Chain A
């Protein structure tokens, strides 16, 4: 009995505050959240840091995300004449990922109580994201930038929720 309790506590090593309230897994607070914050900040930063489209072309933000996104300007949000560092779909993904991590790391009981649905929602949203991406790519249909960003946002939220689920719910020992 004792060992069972210890196993769960050590696999998901939640911090315990003085009030006894469970806090989050250190990887969530010190790895996943900062990574998500970094990506979302860099993705949104060009319009606020760069003065022109040409500056954007040679910016480090564009260079960084060139490994992850097609960065087509006709499929990107443009503020003050400067595009974001990623396309609308990726903007949604990074924003949704950060929003869900920030929200559900605070409200993780919500995730714990619904973890049966989380993987299913993630799989369904992955199918939607990939289908829409390929349909746009092969010109089967064209969705608007707002729709693309919305699909990305919901997928990003589902990925973040899966991550919170992974870091807060203890694994079973086979």
Chain B
């Protein structure tokens, strides 16, 4: 019989990460395009930001799916700690897949970045909370950020931020999934 140490979780984490990475990329794209095609409101409460929050909420279930795949592959016996590790790696794969897709998309839709940048700038210009003197500074900062979209620094930042967020959140969901979907390993009896 396969011992707990021999059971690999890479397949489960990789599959769940790829599926949820694609889903959160899709949700963020829906948010981005809805912002591009909407009138600037000046509020941060646009569908773009709501889509980010929805993407995160959905993304938490990546760890659960990772554990589910592991159980389908190897049976329900797993330690809670292994559930946490599966969740962590699922989150890291999700971050990787969603960032790679975000980098590929502007090559498919050549006007995406420019349209998105214009929508963001229009939204800042319409924002009443930012004093006029600071608006220019904020727009310059945003413009510089978009110009450096493909720079190694920006890619690393996107990857790091999403890895931290999705990785850590999925540690929690993975260990909860192991608790409620798994059973203690036989060899510990």
Q: Which residues of A contact B (CB under 8 A)?
A: 3, 6-7, 10-11, 25-27, 31-32, 35, 38-39, 52-54, 57-58, 60, 63-75, 137, 162-163, 166-167, 170-174
Contact = CB atoms under 8 A, between A and B. Distances in A.
Given A171-B183, A172-B183, A67 B55 contact: yes
A72 B166 contact: no
A156 B184 CA distance: 27
Nearest to A69: B53
Given A63-B157, A73-B44, A173-B183, A10 B81 contact: no
Interface stretch (B12-20, B32-40, B110-118, B171-179): B171-179
Interface residues of B, number: 42
B65 to A, nearest CB: 18
A7 B186 CA distance: 9
Given A163-B172, A170-B184, 20 more contacts: A3-B189, A27-B81, A31-B84, A31-B175, A35-B171, A39-B168, A66-B161, A67-B56, A67-B165, A68-B53, A70-B53, A72-B43, A75-B45, A163-B176, A166-B179, A166-B180, A167-B80, A167-B179, A173-B184, A174-B76
Contacts, number: 118
Contacts of B182: 171
A167 B178 CA distance: 10
A142 to B, nearest CB: 12
A145 to B, nearest CB: 13
Interface string B140-167: 0110010000000000010001101110
B103 interface: no
Contact of A57 (B76, B138, B165, B184): B138
B160 to A, nearest CB: 9
A71 B46 CA distance: 10
B62 to A, nearest CB: 13
Instruction: List the 7 shortest-distance A-B pairs measured between CB atoms, nearest first.
Output: A70-B49, A72-B45, A166-B179, A68-B56, A10-B188, A11-B184, A67-B165
Q: Which of A35, A64, A67, A69 has the most CB of B within 10 A?
A: A67
Interface of B: 43-45, 49-50, 52-53, 55-56, 59, 76, 79-81, 84, 129-130, 134, 137-138, 141-142, 145, 157, 161-162, 164-166, 168-169, 171-172, 175-176, 179-180, 182-184, 188-189
B134 A64 contact: no
Contacts of B162: 67
Nearest to B187: A10
A58 B175 contact: no
A71 B172 CA distance: 23
Contacts of B169: 68
B188 A31 contact: no
B85 to A, nearest CB: 10
Contacts of A171: 80, 179, 182-184
A25 B175 CA distance: 12
A166 B175 contact: yes
Contacts of B165: 64-65, 67-68
Contacts of B138: 54, 57-58
B189 A54 contact: no
Given A70-B52, A137-B50, A53 B134 contact: yes
